[in-house]
Amino acid sequence: MVSFDWQKEAQEQWDNRAAFWNEKSTGMWDSGSRKDIVPFIEKHLDKKSSVLDIGCGDGYGSYKLHDVGYHVTGVDLSSEMIHRAKDRVPNEEIEFLQGNVMNLPFDNNSYDGMMAINVLEWTEQPAKALYELHRVLKKDGLLCIGILGPTAGPRTNSYPRVYGEKAICNTLMPWEFQRLASEINFEYVDGFGVYKEGVKKENYQGLSCELKQALSFMWVFMLRKEGDV
């Protein structure tokens, strides 16, 4: 039986997807599913704060954060994504590094804030990844994290598991993540749902948070690091 190296497989798959991602990232951040994330961060985190963008992809989200006044470092598992990110922001105002969320190349308590959008869903051990984010974030620092909801198309990447096959997408859901975050000493500060076009406000208004998350394409959390674990 051939062993499955999650990190190696994930890196190869995201290298192969880099061109596709590059074509759609601007639209996602400017007018699509991620358009409200940077304003959400601005609402909670002081400008000029240091922000680590985990899973930065081709760097457009990092650029958006930099453009509104944050000091940004971008990290991604894919070397091809990092290459594209450096091409996008060639003046070196943003540092881009290849790295793994499971073992980040930073000291404890290094950053005021972090952004990690659709990252933990692509890790072999989400709890271990979140512990690593907790380690690198400063005490009372803020973590903005997006977790795919059950209606998200990318969830189909975990489908091979029904045949007992390995996949680089896990099945972590927003309500599971919320419980995990509380166990790892993160305080829930704020959050909002991103929904597909067919879901109207009247469809989820008045529902509990968990039911809203169940209808979501993605749930975006703002969490505060409370202390060591």
Q: Among 13, 150, 6, 172, which residue's Cα sits nearest to residue 81? A: 13
pLDDT value for 1: 44
pLDDT value for 92: 77
pLDDT value for 2: 60
Backbone angles phi, psi at 5, to 5 degrees: -95, 100
What's the full length of the chain, in residues?
229
Q: According to the 3-state scheme, what is the secondary structure of 148-199?
A: ECCCCHHHHHHHHHHHCCCCCCCCCCHHHHHHHHHHCCEEEEEEEEECCCCC
Backbone angles phi, psi at 224, to 5 degrees: -115, 135
Predicted confidence pLDDT, tens digits, the chain (229 residues): 467 899 999 999 999 999 999 999 999 999 999 999 999 999 999 999 999 999 999 999 999 999 999 999 999 999 999 999 999 877 778 999 999 999 999 999 999 999 999 999 999 999 999 999 999 999 999 999 999 999 999 999 999 999 999 999 999 999 999 999 999 999 999 999 999 999 999 999 999 999 999 999 999 999 999 977 7
Q: Among 195, 197, 198, 200, which residue's Cα sits nearest to residue 214? A: 195
pLDDT value for 227: 79
Q: Which residues of 172-207 are buried (b: 16+ CB within 10 A; e: fewer)?
A: bbbbebbebbeebebeeeebebbbeeebeeeebeee
Residue 131: CB atoms within 10 A of its CB come to 15
Is domain 6-225 given the CATH code 3.40.50.150 in the classification? yes
Q: Helices 6-30 and 60-67 meet at what angle, rounded to 10?
A: 50
Residue 70: CB atoms within 10 A of its CB come to 24
pLDDT value for 26: 95
pLDDT value for 228: 78
Distance CA(11)–CA(13), nearest Å, equals 6
